[in-house]
Amino acid sequence: MPELPEVEVTRLSFADRIHGAEVVSIHMGKPLRWPVGHDVDELQGWRVGAVTRRGKYLWLPLAGPQARQGGLLIHLGMSGSLAFSPRLPLAGAHDHFDMVTTLGTLRLTDPRRFGAVVWGTSLQEGVPAKLLAGLGLEPFDPALSGAYVHARLAGRRVSIKQALLAGDIIVGAGNIYACEALFRAGIDPRLAAGRVSRPRCERLVREVQAVLNQALAMGGSSLKDFKDAHGSQGHFQLSTQVYGREGQPCRVCATPVRRAVQGQRSTFFCPSCQKR
């Protein structure tokens, strides 16, 4: 699943190029996770504003005639990707959204169709507001601190790994990045979230930010088929310390990396470097 770094890399790969474009037409393929909720033919002639991101969602603001405002909230689902180009081939079986503009075509390709394109008058109203309501702080929000995380974890019996994946405290720490951040912070992923001390929460925040920064610099992770809007793959997966390295020696202490299953997701950790 494309996580926050992949979604942000995707945004950066086309946001400047589509900004200011006029919508010529929008073509929908097979149904996605949720209906658009708007007649897309009515968006002809609207202009694209500055594309932003919230969690793993992209927001394409649109300005129409008579000061009308709105936008499309896009989620890449489990296997989706966006492409933007002045010239794209004819839509294939897995291409379910084409927004043709005066500067190029934005296309959502999603083989499993768990992605979505939904309309909203703003991020604070309608379906977008409901989808974003439960999200935690962005990883680089100035309000994010060890004290904040420690307070939000208080009393939680779920493991710290699962608490990170929930996304209601910090968004963006998907499976690969949660494994890596917990390793760097020296925290056993099986530790109950409510037992993580404030000093360890402070270190965890720093390591989540460091891991996500590194992932952004490396174009995200392409574990299967992720590509940005230029068609480029990410390379973070080539530098992981524990993720995907079950049985291989820890890069720090040489202890074999272990794998556990938590919430139906694989967790990779070093039993020597990471403490409960």
Residues 92 and 173 both lie in one domain: no
Residues 175 and 212 both lie in one domain: yes
The pLDDT tens digits for 99-150 are: 999 999 999 999 999 999 999 999 999 999 999 999 999 999 999 999 999 9
Q: Active site residue: 11, 17, 56, 245, which one?
A: 56
Is 275 within the bounds of a domain?
Answer: no
Q: What Cα–Cα distance (Å) separates residue 126 from each residue in 46, 59, 77, 129? A: 20, 14, 20, 6
Q: Active site residue: 152, 190, 265, 271, which one?
A: 265
Final residue of a domain: which of 76, 102, 132? 132
The pLDDT tens digits for 176-227 are: 999 999 999 999 999 999 999 999 999 999 999 999 999 988 877 654 554 5
Residue with token string 């991101």: 53
Residues 97 and 188 both lie in one domain: no
Q: Active site residue: 3, 6, 8, 207, which one?
A: 3
- HSE (side-chain half, CA atoms, 13 Å) at 174: 17
Residues 123 and 186 both lie in one domain: no
Of 144, 175, 143, the C-alpha closest to 161 is 175
- pLDDT confidence of residue 79: 86
Q: Active site residue: 2, 5, 61, 189, which one?
A: 2
Final residue of a domain: which of 100, 132, 164? 132
- HSE (side-chain half, CA atoms, 13 Å) at 206: 10
User: What is the spatial distance between Cα 184 and Cα 17, in angstroms, rounded to a whole number?
Assistant: 36
Least confident of 75-89, 194-208, 230-244, 253-267: 230-244
Collect all residues with Cβ–Cβ distance below 8 Å to 7 and sequence separation of at least 6: 53, 56, 57, 58, 76
Average pLDDT over the chain, rounded to an integer:
93
Residues 159 and 187 both lie in one domain: yes
199 as an active site residue: the answer is no
State yes or no: pLDDT of 26 exceeds 60. yes
Is 126 within the bounds of a domain?
Answer: yes
Is 137 within the bounds of a domain?
Answer: no
Residues 120 and 21 both lie in one domain: yes
State yes or no: pLDDT of 237 exceeds 80. no
- pLDDT confidence of residue 231: 58
Residues 125 and 155 both lie in one domain: no
Is 276 within the bounds of a domain?
Answer: no
- pLDDT confidence of residue 239: 83
56 as an active site residue: the answer is yes
Residues 14 and 128 both lie in one domain: yes
CATH assignment of the domain containing 176: 1.10.8.50
265 as an active site residue: the answer is yes
State yes or no: pLDDT of 68 exceeds 80. yes
- pLDDT confidence of residue 144: 97
- pLDDT confidence of residue 179: 96
State yes or no: pLDDT of 263 exceeds 80. yes
Percent of the chain whose pLDDT exceeds 70: 94
Final residue of a domain: which of 102, 132, 162? 132
CATH assignment of the domain containing 17: 3.20.190.10
Q: What is the span of the domain harbouring residue 192?
A: 146-269
pTM of the prediction? 0.90
- pLDDT confidence of residue 3: 85
**Structural domain total, the chain:** 2
Residues 122 and 166 both lie in one domain: no
2 as an active site residue: the answer is yes
Least confident of 6-20, 161-175, 233-247: 233-247
Is 73 within the bounds of a domain?
Answer: yes
Is 274 within the bounds of a domain?
Answer: no
- pLDDT confidence of residue 230: 57
The pLDDT tens digits for 6-25 are: 899 999 999 999 999 999 99
Percent of the chain whose pLDDT exceeds 90: 86
Residues 29 and 67 both lie in one domain: yes
Collect all residues with Cβ–Cβ distance below 8 Å to 56 and sequence separation of at least 6: 2, 3, 4, 7, 75, 76, 171, 172
State yes or no: pLDDT of 38 exceeds 90. yes
Residues 79 and 175 both lie in one domain: no
Is 35 within the bounds of a domain?
Answer: yes
Residues 263 and 201 both lie in one domain: yes
Is 10 within the bounds of a domain?
Answer: yes
